[in-house]
Amino acid sequence: MGTISDVLYCARDWIGYSRWTDPEEGTVFGRWFAEKTGEPYFGTSGVPYCAMFASYCLDWAGVPCAGMPSAYCPDIVSAGEDAGATVSCEDAEAGDLVLFDWGGDGLADHIGIV
């Protein structure tokens, strides 16, 4: 099993990646997710890839996480709450997942890695 340092190493390796300059259709994380889950839509759709990126980093590092792999932020929130794995912003540490509700509608729309 991997460590949080492995997750951060993986994430850092992708700094600068852009779906707009990816030579293939979709995103590298969408293609990975499609293969991992058997859901081909994500491989070529070009949908926002933040959750698939976080899933990829965790999987690459061998770090289990409730609700992962996922392409849908609200499911990740629910899984984290069900697993009792949520912390306050003040208690977040490097490697924790942070979810954002930019729309203010009570549903997470973005995820990042602290």
Confidence of residue 101 (pLDDT cuts 50, 70, 90): very high
Length of the chain measured in residues: 114
With residue 84 as reference, give the H or E element that holds it.
Answer: none
Look at residue 1 and tell me whether its pLDDT is greater than 90: no
Look at residue 3 and tell me whether its pLDDT is greater than 90: yes
Whole-model pTM over 0.85: yes
CA distance 91 to 95: 12
CA distance 98 to 114: 7
Question: How do residues 14-56 score in pLDDT, each as one tens digit?
Answer: 999 999 999 999 999 999 999 999 999 999 988 999 999 999 9
Q: Is 105 helix (H, G, I), strand (E, B) or coil?
A: coil
